[in-house]
Amino acid sequence: MRYWQNEEIVSLDEKKAIQSERLIKTVNRVYANVPFYNKKMKELGLEPGDIKSIDDLKYLPFTTKQDLRDHYPYGLFAAPMEEVVRIHASSGTTGQPTVVGYTKNDIRMWEDMMARCLSAYGVTKHDIIQNAYGYGLFTGGLGVHHGAEHLGAAVVPISGGNTKKQIQLLQEFGSTVITCTPSYALYIGETMKNMGIDPRSTNLRVGVFGAEPWTEEMREQIESLFGIDAMDIYGLSEVLGPGVAFDCQKRTGLHINDDHFVPEVIDVDTLEPLAGGESGELVFTMITKEALPLLRYRTRDITKLYTDKCECGRTLVRMDKVTGRSDDMLIIRGVNVFPSQIESIILKVAETAPHYVLIVDRINNLDTLEVWVEAKEGLFSDAIKSLEKVEKHITNELFSLLGLHVKVKLVEPRTIERSEGKAKRIIDKRKK
Ligand code: DLL
């Protein structure tokens, strides 16, 4: 078993001591340097000295994406601009982008966290990493890049898109690792097949996939498509970028780098922290960042935490694979539906391809949900009957999972838009 750092395996007591010391430092830092936190803490009647250990985390104020927007662009920074060496931003489908900053030490910590993830996946300095996450304001490209170099691997900074070139380099550069969104990996594999190239014929052995929710069924499809290990990487720009949490070889949830990012899962209604194993919104407190150490940042990602020991030996707490964001959750006639639930059904159906989109509308004041999913080659040339049979099968499966009647429509191969980054799975016609 390969660990990058000793912090991954410290005892829980040691961990608590490290977290407590770092939290106290951070609280002092934001109280002194960020007027927003100074005001919030005073409103709660809190002084930095009241926070004595990590157990006091629950008394601190929450931070939301809206708070970042209200202080756009640099209002929540806790370091002076002369110490900030990098700025990223998340595009945000609605409203202003969210701007995040890093000092030199922050960048060093980020490199370390990324190297931790890569070594847990079994990547070493002998690997050639084709980095197909987008370079730019998005944290994916540069985040993975620096971590890969720090590990000592050779990184090919191709960025996202340019699929033919990706395939050419996969073949000619002998890349052993690919890093991109899971939906883009599927697209690359599909394009290879269309070009008559066997996706299993390259030197690839590991894929590092994240930046969007993906199911275990999707993992199996990608693994068998390329003949690789498909590993999960989780992160968000407000906390760091890629490198917040990672799959180990045991695959029993993602290890959170909790010596830097302390997680909580809260009940979205009461905002009270939940016990391990209970599902709620993931919240992070960044205890080592200098430029943007947010207190109790509400991610909107829905997951559970596991505190029992992992067989890999790491004592880093684990979280369930993130299968949805609270803002991706559709409420259809009162039933909560996550796109990942639908994905898990569709990907089990042999006659369909793993490309789908959900179309939500409101007709006569009633919410409707249609699932458009691509049929595999050949199904359309068969009798209409077999199309109907597959549609009916998926409808029934979805009904037994969700208790909801969903209209399923099989569409011709290659008619659903492919993604080179984060896939867009939902078209909500109610939001015009
Ligand atoms: O997506 C950072 C990243 C880049 C992670 C490359 C992994 C790989 P944002 O653009 O700020 O940052 O989007 C963060 O994406 O809150 C989740 O909803 C979702 N997300 C990220 N990784 C995963 C994952 C990057 N492995 C948002 N599984 C997060 C599920 C994920 N959802």
The 3-class secondary structure across 116-184, one letter per residue, is HHHHHCCCCCCCEEEECCCCCCCHHHHHHHHHHHHHCCEEECCCCCCHHHHHHHHHHCCCCEEEECHHH
> Looking at ligand 1, which atom is closest to the CA of residue 321?
28
| CA–CA separation, 16 and 22 (whole Å) | 10
> Looking at ligand 1, which atom is closest to the CA of residue 91?
10
Gap from CA of 231 to ligand 1 centroid (Å): 14
pLDDT attached to residue 93: 57
> Looking at ligand 1, which atom is closest to the CA of residue 144?
6
The low-confidence residues of the chain, meaning pLDDT below 70, are 1, 92-95, 382, 431-432
Residues with CB under 6 A from ligand 1: 90, 133, 139-140, 210-213, 232-237, 241-242, 299, 301, 322, 325
**Residues forming CATH 3.40.50.12780 domain(s) in the chain:** 1-326
Tell me how long the chain is.
432
Gap from CA of 65 to ligand 1 centroid (Å): 15
pLDDT attached to residue 217: 95
Each residue's pLDDT tens digit, 224-233: 999 999 999 9
Please say whether the structural domain 330-431 has been given the CATH code 3.30.300.30.
yes
Instruction: Give how far the C-alpha of residue 31 lies from the chain's centroid of Cα atoms, to the nearest Å.
Output: 30
> Looking at ligand 1, which atom is closest to the CA of residue 208?
8
**Residues forming CATH 3.30.300.30 domain(s) in the chain:** 330-431
Closest residue by CA, ligand 1 atom 4:
140
Each residue's pLDDT tens digit, 336-370: 899 999 999 999 999 999 999 999 999 888 889 99
Q: Domain 1-326 adopts which CATH fold?
A: Rossmann fold (3.40.50)
Longest CA–CA span in the chain (Å) reads 74
Q: Helices in 173-278 by DSSP H: which ranges? A: 182-194, 216-226
pLDDT attached to residue 197: 98
Gap from CA of 121 to ligand 1 centroid (Å): 18
> Looking at ligand 1, which atom is closest to the CA of residue 232?
26
pLDDT attached to residue 128: 98
Gap from CA of 152 to ligand 1 centroid (Å): 24
Q: CB-based contacts of 327: which residues, under 8 Å, 6+ apart?
A: 300
